[in-house]
A = this chain, B = another copy of it.
Amino acid sequence: MTEHATSDERRPANRGPRAAAGNRAALVTAAREVYAAHGLDAPLSAIARRAGVGQGVLYRHFPDRDAVAAAVLEENVRQIEQAAAAEDATPDGVLGVLTWHLAQSAAFIGLLHADGASGRSTTGHAYARDLSERVERALRGCLPDGHRLADDLMLAVAMVSGAVTGPTPETREHRAVAAWRLLGVTVGPVRPFAG
């Protein structure tokens, strides 16, 4: 009857197993961008589209939507851990990296608020707590004994994250730094960790 639709088009070709790793990375990157632009409730289809893959691929790599968010956060946390583990790590420097991630990523902020009752899945909670603890361990490891905030480390982080609002990363960065200052803490350069 009608012209026969969409499906006979040429498929982009199966790039084989080699692409798998790349796809995963592309998805995480895409997720970070989409989350930043549209919040954590963005449709998964948008993430897949931006990553340039089909939705099936997303599900191959991540069992459900929480897993996607987790993967994004995982990266944030890992960078902080690396910054803290670096030989020349300084408290200021590590906080700078932490702050950069806070200012950068809506998802990362969401994490620190996740345990409130915001209708996220239970698994999500467990995972969030885990990530939170890893951040704490990393920070504590490089703070001098008896630091003013030692006993309230994650509380302070949560407070700063609360201050991190605003439309652009720049605004958010400024507010984050101001928040640390209000807590009597100086942070080093706000930037991602680069080896």
Using a CB–CB cutoff of 8 Å, the interface residues on chain A facing chain B are 1-2, 4-8, 17-18, 20-21, 24-25, 28-29, 36-43, 61, 71, 75, 106, 109, 112-119, 149, 152, 155-156, 158-167, 172, 175, 178-179, 182-183
Contact = CB atoms under 8 A, between A and B. Distances in A.
Integer count of this chain's copies in the complex: 4
Q: 4 closest A-B pairs (Cβ-Cβ)?
A: A162-B162, A39-B118, A4-B21, A159-B159
A160 B159 CA distance: 6
A18 to B, nearest CB: 7
Contact of A117 (B37, B117, B178, B182): B37
Given A113-B165, A115-B166, A166-B115, A155 B183 contact: no
Given A117-B167, A161-B162, A28 B41 contact: no
Contacts of A158: 162-163, 165, 175, 179
B165 A152 contact: no
B20 A116 contact: no
